[in-house]
Amino acid sequence: MKTRLFMMLAAVLLSIGAMAQSENNYALGNFDHVVTQPAPGGNTADGGPQAVSNIRSVAGVPLVRLNNGVMMPRFGLGTQVQSMENASMRQQLNETVRGMVIAALQSGYRHLDDAMFYYNERGTGWGIKESGIPREQIWVTSKISGNLADAQNAFNGMLQRLQVDYIDLVYIHHPAGTLQDILACWRVMEAEYKAGRIRALGISNFDNRMEAFNYIMDNAEIKPQMAQIECHPLAQRTDARELYANNYDIQVECWYPLNHNRTDPNNTTIQQIAQAHGRTVYQIILRWHMQEGLCPVPGSTNAAHIAENINIFDFELTDEEMAAIRAIDRGDAGRSFNLQYGNWGFGNFQDYNYNHTFTPAYLTGDVNFDGEINIGDVTGLIDFLLSDVRMAPVPADVNEDGETNIGDVTALIDILLRS
């Protein structure tokens, strides 16, 4: 045991400098939209609560400048866990999402996609607090749904459940309800945007109700920065993407980018490309999204899969491979969700409890959050030091010197040798 630990430490000392400085030749550069919309916080002297935001590229994830000048990470974690959304499972759901968020932030994610009707915002909020990553370095998204006429109370509730004083991006989740109620919700979002409690405004699933989209575009004082749609290789949504991105310079974000909901993505084309690169089909799909200029937000409850999904910035797909993936598009037949909206509502939100006590496990040396200190924590800490995430504020400061460095590895090994 001792020999293995010291060999591991020696390997880290020899490799940390070289690997930490290695260049990523396949990184995707940031790109910009034309800034046509006013910046958030315009009704305040100092920009409001959102003025502290400090979004930057971590783990190779590129940023996009939205049409209001705000920078957003183009890759994120989807937090919905549909299998646990039953009212009797709120505690388990939020505890699961708390762990997902911690795992994602430790893996370099800085973009979290949530919604009030996911019933997990409390777990997301605790995950942010316990990750060790400052809130201002995290892009937090949520979505208003249900009674749109009560949007102000909905937004206030989102802040409270997430334990934040601003939200980076707020969507209208579904274009369900009267056009007047949809616009009333948008007016609340615009007011909070001007107050600096929202940084960007978005519409989700509005391509399924064009009268609602047109009504927003005709009447909004502040036009949308983001549009979220179902999009993946089997339903590439070219018409919707052209509508938003080409006609209105709205950035497109993709929910269910791996199409977990219905069709197995392991078709022959993607399998062959994955084999050629020594990657999983999921990594190929996510890399395709990134090279298409999209913003995917894949979800997983598995920490290893969460880390795998973001590990897509050290290879690239060729033009021929991108064309081959574009050729498997099934159009609307490939969609998993194609609801036709109208004036009817989308249900009422029922608040819930999540009983949790703040327990920052990383302070004890439990780097991989498995409830104990073992060799997995050493390898987890080594992975952290060898990745781009090492530049972020520290989630694994074992020796409590204010940063994560090789001293934390030796401190953790000391703990193991004494145990």
Residues forming the active site = 118
SS3 label, residue 405: coil
Strands of 256-382, DSSP E? 295-296
Q: CB within 8 A of 277, min separation 6: which ones? A: 283, 284, 315, 317
The owner of tokens 């999009």 is 231
- What single letter denotes the amino acid at residue 281? V
Residue 82 per-residue DSSP state: G
- Closest among 291, 200, 294 to 251, alpha carbons compared: 294
Task: Report the distance separating Cα 182 and Cα 174, nearest Å.
Answer: 9
CB 159 within 8 A of CB 199: no
CB 123 within 8 A of CB 101: yes
- Closest among 313, 334, 350 to 85, alpha carbons compared: 350
Angle at 163 between CA 98 and CA 251, to 5 degrees: 80
Tokens of 320: 């021929």
Q: How many CA atoms lie within 13 A of 119 on its CB side?
A: 20
Phi, psi for residue 407 in degrees, rounded to 5: -65, -30
